[in-house]
Amino acid sequence: MNIGPTELIIILIPIGGIALLITVLVSLMRRPSRDGDFVGASTSPLIAAAPGWHPDPASRHSQRYWDGSTWTPHVSDNGVASMDPV
């Protein structure tokens, strides 16, 4: 079967449109919001995690302490603990 230029364009336009749509959606989800957090970023674990040190959801520090219901101002970088308000 021989595909001519017209048929090729008819096939490629929808594929290109889908790729563009996916690119736009991903970029919108990853853009920072006005308060500096990423749109769609969670400030609490998706599953109720046990209290303890977890990766900082704001990515400002290596770890932040989760008390079982909220993030605390207690943070850690390379094993050195400090305070940083959430």
pLDDT digits (tens, 9 = 90+) for 20-75: 667 767 777 666 655 555 544 455 555 678 899 999 999 999 999 999 889 999 99
pLDDT at 22: 74
pLDDT at 2: 76
Question: What DSSP letter does each residue of 11-77 carry, written as one string?
Answer: HHHHHHHHHHHHHHHHHHHHSB-TTSSBTT--SS-SS-PPSEEEE-TTSSSSEEEE-SSSEEEEEEE
Q: Is residue 82 in a domain?
A: yes
pLDDT at 25: 72
- Count the domains in the chain: 1
pLDDT at 11: 73
pLDDT at 86: 84
Q: Is residue 63 in a domain?
A: yes
The domain in which residue 83 lies consists of 50-86
Q: Is residue 14 in a domain?
A: no
Q: Is residue 85 in a domain?
A: yes
Q: At 80, list the tokens.
A: 């050195």
